[in-house]
Chains A and B, each alone.
Chain A
Amino acid sequence: MEALMSLMVGVLTACGVYLMLRARTFPVVLGLTLLTYAVNLFLFASGRLTIGAPPIIHDGATHYTDPLPQALVLTAIVISFAMTAFVIMLSLKARAELGNDHVDGRPSQGDAP
């Protein structure tokens, strides 16, 4: 399980970083989304992997998984939505003001008219 989790975080990070390095705004936003998943999974995993022991107190339970990373990640998910929204609006604004969707705002060949 641990190996699977590490592999997933790794793949998400790698693809996220590659997309983040692209020259157009939309792939960069997608890349950030992938990185967000990677970071959230990583933070979540810092409580270690536990199966079948959600942190909801009830009689008869012997152990619970660590609730703290979950609380952190829960807000992180919501905040990263806000961040994604902000970045995508920024790219819309840039498109409107600069006339293209290049991350540096300079037109280059291959732009759709």
Chain B
Amino acid sequence: MVSFCPPRSSVFITEFNRMNLPLVILTPFIGAALTAWAARFGARRTAWVAGGMTLLALIILAPTLTAPFKGEVIIQRWSWIPQAGVDLAFRFDGLALLFTTMILGIGLLVILYARYYLSDDAQNPKPGMGRFYAYLLLFMGSMLGVVLSENLIVLLIFWEMTSLSSFLLISYSYQGKEARQGARMALTVTGLGGLALLGGFMLLGKMAGSYELSVILAQGDVIRADPLYTPMLVLILIGAFTKSAQFPFHFWLPRAMAAPTPVSAYLHSATLVKAGIFLLARLFPVLSGTPEWSWLVIGAGLSTLLIGAWFALFKHDLKGLLAYSTISHLGLITLLFGLATPLAAVAGLFHIINHATFKASLFMAAGIIDHECGTRDMRRINGLWKFMPYTATLAMVAAASMAGVPLFNGFLSKEMFFAETTDFFSDRPWGWMLPTLVALAGVLAVAYSLRFIHDVFFNGDPINLPKTPHEPPFWMKVPAEILVGICVLVGMFPAMTVAWPLKVAATSVLQAPPPRFDLAIWHGFNLPLLMSLIALFGGLLVYSARKPLFRQANRLEGVLDAGAYYDSIVRTVAGFATALTNALDRGSLQRLMVVFVVSVIAMGLAGALGSGSPLTGPRALLAADAVSVFIALALIVVTLATLILHHRRLTALVVVGALGLLVALIFVKFSAPDLALTQLSVEVVTIVLLLLALYFLPQRSPRESSRPRRIRDTVLALLAGGSAGALTWAMLTRPHESISSFFLENSVPGGGGTNVVNVILVDFRGYDTLGEISVLALAGLGIYAMLKDLELTGLARDARGRAWNWDAHPSIMAALTRLLLPLALLVSVFIFLRGHNQPGGGFIAGLITAVALIMQYLTNGVAWTHQRMSDNMHPLIGAGLLIATVTGLVSILLGYPFLTSTFTHIHWPVVGDFELASAMAFDLGVFLVVVGATLLILIHLGLMHDASHPDPKLQQEPR
């Protein structure tokens, strides 16, 4: 049948197989959006969508699943930022296989489980389920990205995304303070770790000459010999340890238990906290095998193992116990990688699988108990065996596996763990210490597992439970059943189940054929077995002596709470920031302004005086002519007039208008026609704007500044003005070197326009311009949002107390401006078209059009104008931004960098030869945004006028 496949589709399949890894990562992200969208059709559908997308990811992954078993490493690559050595490269090998199956498999089970956990009963899901699944899928996609990345920088990006998405998941019940605090703490700690990791990766990339794992993994010896090996190692380990909650960064994990239990089951069994371990495994061949590695990793692992096990025993919260036991088991795995023998790495991988299965099922059981009892306090939950024997059996099997009881999977990896620790230091005099401490941790593990079983399911009757517990719905148990089934299967028939995938994963961790290992339940009577027995009986003993131990622990409560230290550090930092802010900002803008002006002047003066260079430079000066002197004097007079008249606001405003015209003249004088045109048109809209606004403000500023304050401000103003003037002088008298010769030379051959300023705007620096019109659009929209629903009362009387004149719009002026409109628009088109070669362009043309249209409003009134023109400027702004961006994207599609322009000469009868550059389309975008934003601002302010004086006469059309 296969041979009937048409060649085209087989090509398609090969193509697909060459790009399925990014699709696997992308699927959950698309799923997140879909789930959020599906939520509007009922919360229950979101579970189907989430589950379906996870299955889809598994199906997309399927064709490559077998490759690692054949010894292949699949690498799929797209060029991204080649200059920085960053490619979108993905890798699928044994280790990635192990993790992707865990992430997707347990993810699927968690999605099924959460469907029931988040419902009050089997039929009524709680609202917000869509949000939950969307976050969960976001997290799943980020986690897949981490384990499938070939490029370290790409890995880091996904790593940070796991931090962010787990923040969203932990803070899912954001109404609760604990959830918010827990989420913040997790984000801070893992975020800081991510920063350290970035540093470590940069160093590692520099040492290896590449960020690609295939290159790095082959250079273990070079990297270990590098002088910067130790700092690099420390940085990377900080990243891994914060993520995997290793001592002393372990404290965030128990606080993260504020998340809904399905989240804990996912994050703390198979995924988030395993990311750090994954990193240790991934970089194992490069980083391990040095004394630094052994000390740091064994030290962190061992202390985490012990501390976690100790605290787990004394937690009364069911999830608290599981949280600390998770920490402890993560320490165990870290310790195994720290030992750095091939067999220890195999054991570490094995325990990753085992811990994921039994811990996920334990969290699910804890969730069922919480769901059915309404509390997680083990002092109140007792004797549940009578109420839910089936769930109890599941939980007991999983807990037995956690304790390391034979016939369950936890026993096997723990045996290997014990064996490795006894071998490691056996040649040293103090070699007995490690096995002893490890056995002690084993004893504690058995004790807290016993507590989980005995205290919850036996030990008398429940005390004062909010609900009467009963077995959960059928499908809520299924995920836990599957996981517990795996625990038992692996525990009984290890060689037939996990031996092969383990071997494949170990091959990619070690980058070498793995050592021979024997996964059997019975290895004969040896030291590890003795340790297991000691752990089992010791655990029983410790648990039976729990009452005096609990009393002791109560007294020690809070002594070793790293979370409290973290809290106090955060409080100190936040307190310092608040104090500093309060010292500078006392709720007075004037004061803050003074601080700002004084600091600027002080820094400027310090820099100038410190440099020791003379004020005047050697550049030849231009001679001043009479007209220039006159204009400069006029400008100074007008400026001072503004200052003196500023209490009479309208007068000051009129004077400022003159100032704009003078500035435009200066631009004309000094060879800047484009600037002069822009300044002129901006001046018009600015003055119209300020006039409109002034209508709603007091007409006079009261004279209220005290004399000392006026003197202080005068001194500051003189200092600031003097400095600015001196700076200008110093700059103008110094020689000038510019990169502009490039623009001048390439404007015509490269950009197809003779107006260099315009070519710079729309071509050379088009990307900047795109940013600037975005700012303009944003300002317009921001103003629109601000004016919406704002009610202002205008003036009834002017500054001198005279009544407002309610005359309708003067008809001669109205008629004239109507005539002027087509002329003005024609000028605008002219300015726009010639802009590429002569002064003009989109900015200026846009302003002229805006002025022409505003004139209609001013002279004809709102009612008349609205009959002829829509006041909705949003489509115009949107179209402008779209055109500008699409122009840029087209050049990407044609294989050029963003916003590359092209041009051609066109002969048009009558008009003659002219150039048509693709940059013109971009300029059109600029034009539309300028028109849209300017009109949006002015029209809406004008409309408020209309609303403020509902005088019928004004609504009339002028005659």
Which A residues contact B (CB, under 8 angstroms)?
1-15, 17-27, 29-30, 33-34, 37-38, 40-42, 44-58, 64-68, 70-71, 73-75, 77-79, 81-86, 88-93, 95-96, 101, 103-104, 108-112
Contact = CB atoms under 8 A, between A and B. Distances in A.
A23 B705 contact: yes
23 contacts: A10-B724, A10-B728, A15-B642, A17-B717, A21-B593, A21-B713, A22-B646, A24-B698, A27-B649, A50-B670, A57-B744, A57-B747, A58-B754, A74-B757, A77-B682, A78-B678, A79-B776, A81-B934, A85-B937, A88-B693, A89-B787, A109-B704, A112-B698
A85 B775 contact: no
Given A26-B697, A75-B772, A96-B696, 15 more contacts: A11-B640, A13-B721, A14-B717, A21-B593, A23-B704, A33-B656, A42-B724, A45-B728, A49-B622, A57-B748, A67-B740, A71-B761, A79-B772, A79-B775, A86-B782
Contact of A57 (B718, B736, B756, B775): B756
Nearest to A108: B704
B624 A4 contact: yes
Interface in B700-756: 700-705, 713-714, 716-718, 720-729, 731-733, 736, 738-740, 743-744, 747-748, 754-756
A49 to B, nearest CB: 5
Given A57-B747, A64-B744, A70-B672, A92 B696 contact: yes
B614 interface: no
A96 B635 contact: no
B670 A49 contact: yes
Interface stretch (B52-60, B71-79, B464-472, B661-669): B661-669
Given A17-B721, A42-B724, A49-B732, A85 B756 contact: no
B671 A52 contact: yes
Contacts of B689: 81, 84-85, 88
A112 to B, nearest CB: 5
A68 B690 CA distance: 30
A65 B744 CA distance: 10
B775 A82 contact: yes
Interface stretch (B195-203, B584-592, B905-913): B584-592
Contacts of A21: 590, 593-594, 597, 713, 716-717
Contacts of A49: 622, 670, 732
A31 to B, nearest CB: 8
Contacts of A101: 697-698
B672 A12 contact: no
Given A41-B663, A44-B667, A68-B738, A78 B675 contact: no
B29 interface: no
Contact of B729 (A3, A23, A71): A3
B632 interface: yes
B629 interface: yes
Interface of B: 587-590, 593-594, 597, 619, 621-624, 628-629, 632, 635-636, 639-640, 642-643, 646, 649, 652-653, 656, 659-660, 663, 666-667, 669-675, 678-679, 682, 685-686, 689-690, 693-694, 696-705, 713-714, 716-718, 720-729, 731-733, 736, 738-740, 743-744, 747-748, 754-757, 760-761, 765, 768-769, 772, 775-776, 779-780, 782-783, 786-787, 790-792, 837-839, 843, 847, 930, 933-934, 937, 941
A110 B703 CA distance: 8
A56 B754 contact: yes
Contacts of B724: 9-10, 13-14, 38, 42
B649 A86 contact: no
B726 A96 contact: no
Contacts of B720: 13-14, 17
Nearest to B586: A104
A103 B671 CA distance: 40
Nearest to B644: A15
Contacts of A42: 724, 727-728, 731
Contacts of A14: 717-718, 720-722, 724
Contacts of A64: 671, 744, 756
Contact of B731 (A45, A53, A73, A110): A45
Contact of A56 (B772, B839, B843): B839
Contact of B743 (A19, A68, A75): A68
A87 to B, nearest CB: 10
Nearest to A12: B639
Contacts of B667: 44
A52 B673 CA distance: 10
> A-B pairs with the 5 shortest C-beta distances?
A14-B721, A10-B725, A110-B702, A82-B779, A18-B717
